[in-house]
Structure 1
Amino acid sequence: MIMRPGQQLLLPANPLFIWFSLLSALVLNMLMNTGLWGRAAWVPDLLAVTLVFWSVHQPLRIGVGVAFVFGLTMDVQQGALLGQHAMAYTVLGFLAVSMHRRLLWFGVPTQAVQVLPLLMAAHLLELLVRMVAGGAFPGWSFFLAPVIEAAFWPVVSVLLLAPQRRAPNPDDNRPL
């Protein structure tokens, strides 16, 4: 792959770190849903952001199947309609994998802008499933969650790519 000018060469991602970050995001989601805010509509879905990140950066390891399993886990934890999060996360994973090559050519702030429609689509799909099953509209603050998640994208990118960054130690005998 041709790299952009100024882009840093990254080490391979450690599979244990990938799974640790996904499980940590799952636990944080569970804590946020039962914590101070309860299940407020505007609370960001950190697991969705982490799934999109790894689907973009490691599409062969994290994809639609992993998103489906984590979605079922969130459905069971929240007592939601079984398949509500699973379908939203599956569509989110598919869209992220399908655009991963194009997305990586942009800088992190531009990536956040391009990830926003993906997150909005997942939230709208989740809302649609909830409303078809007879749920109530959660209010207009519901549309704030994808915006907050897109704002988290640069922070998530820095945190999850940190273990892959090479230490800047130049060596005359090594070209990389």
Structure 2
Amino acid sequence: MNRPHYILLPVSPLFIAFSLFCAFLLNLLPWGHFVGVPDFVALLLVFWGVHQPRKVGIGTAFVLGLLMDVHDSTLLGENALAYTLLSYCAIMLHRRMLWFPIWTQAAHVFPLLAMAQLVQLIVRFFVSGKFPDWFYFVESAMAAVLWPLTSWLLLAPQRRAVDKDHTRPI
């Protein structure tokens, strides 16, 4: 409880849109067949759902899910359903998660991302009858490990001072 609490500047909607666009571009890269590459869009939807629930909500998650469905050539609505549930759960937990240290937040993020992957797995199983191996859930663990870096990187623009005053501690 001795860690400092910073007063953050308001986040720019353009920065949110840019970060989600960059996450979408990272998901478009052809490394989907590698084990352990996280779903960057899901990670950022959780992040912005926790930190800015009024600006990034379920509608944004649904639209990004449809875009990922089109890119992945999966059943239309599979990623949209998973991202919508993920965003809803992140918004439900946002007040609780912000009280915890960063690694405890990552421990909260892992079950959320695993739940979204489980929803995708269930939909794929009912449609195709195929069940992937258990390494399928490694990407949720990798995304949870990336949570501290993501938090540091995306909160950095909000930590800067508007006007530099070396005599005040905030």
User: Take 2:104 and 2:7, find their aligned partners in 1: how far apart are those partners?
Assistant: 20
- Mapping 1:145-160, distance limit 5 Å: 145-160=139-154
1:170 matched to 2:160: no
TM-score normalised according to structure 1 size: 0.89
TM-score normalised according to structure 2 size: 0.92
- State the Cα distance separating 1:38 from its structure 2 match: 3.9
* Backbone CA RMSD of aligned residues: 1.9
Q: Deviations over 1:45-64 (max 9, x none)?
A: 01100110001100001011
Aligned length in residues: 168
1:104 matched to 2:98: yes
Asked if the contact 1:41/1:138 (under 8 Å) is kept, the reply is: no
Aligned to 2:120: 126
- State the Cα distance separating 1:143 from its structure 2 match: 1.4
Asked if the contact 1:41/1:141 (under 8 Å) is kept, the reply is: yes
Q: Deviations over 1:118-164 (max 9, x none)?
A: 01100000100110111422211101111001001001001100100
Asked if the contact 1:56/1:100 (under 8 Å) is kept, the reply is: yes
* One-letter amino acid of the counterpart of residue 56, structure 2: I
Query: Quick one: which of 5, 8, 11 aligns to 1:10?
Result: 8
Asked if the contact 1:92/1:122 (under 8 Å) is kept, the reply is: yes
Could you say what secondary structure the match of 1:86 adopts?
A: helix
User: Take 1:54 and 1:169, find their aligned partners in 2: how far apart are those partners?
Assistant: 30
User: Take 2:38 and 2:32, find their aligned partners in 1: how far apart are those partners?
Assistant: 12
Which sections of structure 2, spanning at least 5 residues, go unmatched?
Answer: none
Query: Quick one: which of 23, 33, 41 aligns to 1:39?
Result: 33
- State the Cα distance separating 1:11 from its structure 2 match: 0.5
User: Take 1:60 and 1:12, find their aligned partners in 2: how far apart are those partners?
Assistant: 12
1:19 matched to 2:13: no
Aligned to 1:61: 55
1:114 matched to 2:114: no
User: Take 1:169 and 1:50, find their aligned partners in 2: how far apart are those partners?
Assistant: 33
Aligned to 2:65: 71
Which sections of structure 1, spanning at least 5 residues, go unmatched?
Answer: none
User: Take 1:171 and 1:18, find their aligned partners in 2: how far apart are those partners?
Assistant: 32
User: Take 1:14 and 1:171, find their aligned partners in 2: how far apart are those partners?
Assistant: 27
1:81 matched to 2:75: yes
User: Take 2:16 and 2:71, find their aligned partners in 1: how far apart are those partners?
Assistant: 22
